[in-house]
């Protein structure tokens, strides 16, 4: 069972949006996905209520209970846990980072988000976690100097995942229905970006142990 935490000490970067869309894309790719919502805003709990289906369970788990809960989920055959976190440093955020095989740090191509990424990266390093960045909400043309500079800054900090994720209405529309972008518009560009992002994440994560795969 692999665990990804979406973390950055900045609201609005796209943690919950990417968490929900990646959860759906991973499920479509055959993973048994479980979301843990550690943000007091409970964004993904609400997303799940609107979704209505129980195919991707979403639970609130306090930081102190995270390890035992993860042990139970692994025994139940969950293959991927996605942890969504608040936009502030907290016990919850730290617990999520400690538990994660990979810390995914979303940032928009602007100075404030990039500074916040640096803070989160520092924490991930202190906790000896593997981390990488996702540049989110880029202007769809992807050509602006601001986006290029943002991508360069994140690459320099170590590990920018491909592709860049564009600002697209599909992300907001999907959220409104409790869906991922690949459910809203399976052949759309947002869906394509999320599928490619999921492939990049899969390549980046440590491989499952053979024993687990066989189980």
Ligand X SMILES: Nc1ncnc2c1ncn2[C@@H]1O[C@H](COP(=O)(O)OP(=O)(O)O)[C@@H](O)[C@H]1O
Residues that bind ligand X (CB under 6 A): 11-17, 43, 87, 136-137, 165, 167-168, 171-172, 175
Q: Which positions ≥6 away from 210 have C-beta within 8 Å?
A: none
The alpha carbons of the chain give a radius of gyration, in whole angstroms, of 16
Q: How far is the CB of 78 from ligand X (least distance, A)?
A: 22
User: Per CB under 5 A, which region of 8-16, 46-54, 167-175, 187-195 contacts Mg ion?
Assistant: 8-16
For residues 111 and 43, give the distance between their C-alpha atoms in angstroms, rounded to a whole number: 25
CB 80 within 8 A of CB 55: no
Residue 172 Cβ vs ligand X, minimum distance, rounded to whole Å: 4
Q: In this complex, which beta carbon is closest to ligand X, that of residue 14 or of residue 150? A: 14
Q: Which of these, 134, 178, 109, lies nearest to 6 by C-alpha position?
A: 134
Residue nearest to Mg ion (CB): 16
Asked if residue 156 lies in contact with residue 135, where contact means CB atoms within 8 angstroms, the answer is no
* Residue 168 touches which of Mg ion, ligand X, none (Cβ within 5-8 Å per kind): ligand X
In terms of CB distance, is 57 or 148 closer to Mg ion?
57
| Whole-number Å distance between alpha carbons of 68 and 45 | 20
Token pair, residue 111, equals 């100075």
The reply on whether position 43 binds Mg ion by CB under 5 A is yes
C-alpha 104/C-alpha 93 separation (Å) is 12
Residue choice 8, 9, 13, 16 for contact with Mg ion (CB under 5 A): 16
By beta-carbon proximity to ligand X, the closer residue of 7 and 78 is 7
Measured from the CB atom, the residue of 16 and 182 that comes closer to Mg ion is 16
Question: C-beta of 119: minimal distance to ligand X in Å?
Answer: 14
- Chosen residue from 3, 15, 51, 108 binding Mg ion by CB under 5 A: 15
Residues 6+ apart with CB under 8 A from 55: 27
Binding at 182: pick from Mg ion, ligand X, none (beta carbon under 5-8 Å per type): none
Contact mark string toward Mg ion, 72..111, x via CB under 5 A? ----------------------------------------
Q: Which letter, b or e, does each residue of 58-78 get, where b requires 16 or more Cβ atoms within 10 Å of its Cβ?
A: beebebeebeebbeebbeeeb
Interface residue list for Mg ion (CB under 5 A) = 15-16, 43
């Amino acid at each position: 069972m692999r665990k990804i935490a979406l973390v950055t000490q900045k609201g609005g970067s796209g943690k919950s949006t990417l968490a929900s869309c990646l959860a759906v894309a991973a499920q479509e790719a055959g993973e048994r996905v479980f979301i843990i919502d550690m943000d007091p805003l409970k964004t993904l709990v609400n997303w799940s209520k609107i979704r209505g289906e129980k195919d991707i369970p979403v639970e609130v788990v306090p930081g102190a209970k995270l390890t035992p809960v993860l042990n139970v989920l692994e025994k139940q055959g969950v293959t991927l846990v996605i942890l969504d976190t608040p936009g502030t440093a907290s016990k919850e955020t730290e617990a999520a980072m400690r538990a994660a095989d990979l810390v995914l740090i979303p940032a928009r191509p602007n100075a404030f988000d990039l500074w916040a990424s640096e803070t989160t990266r520092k924490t991930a390093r202190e906790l000896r976690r593997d981390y990488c960045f996702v540049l989110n909400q880029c202007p769809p043309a992807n050509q602006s100097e601001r986006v290029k500079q943002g991508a360069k800054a994140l690459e320099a900090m170590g590990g920018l995942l491909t592709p860049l994720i564009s600002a697209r209405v599909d992300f907001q529309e999907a959220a409104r229905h409790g869906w991922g972008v690949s459910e809203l518009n399976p052949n759309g560009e947002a869906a394509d970006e999320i599928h490619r992002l999921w492939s990049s994440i899969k390549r980046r994560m440590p491989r499952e142990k053979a024993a687990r795969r066989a189980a």
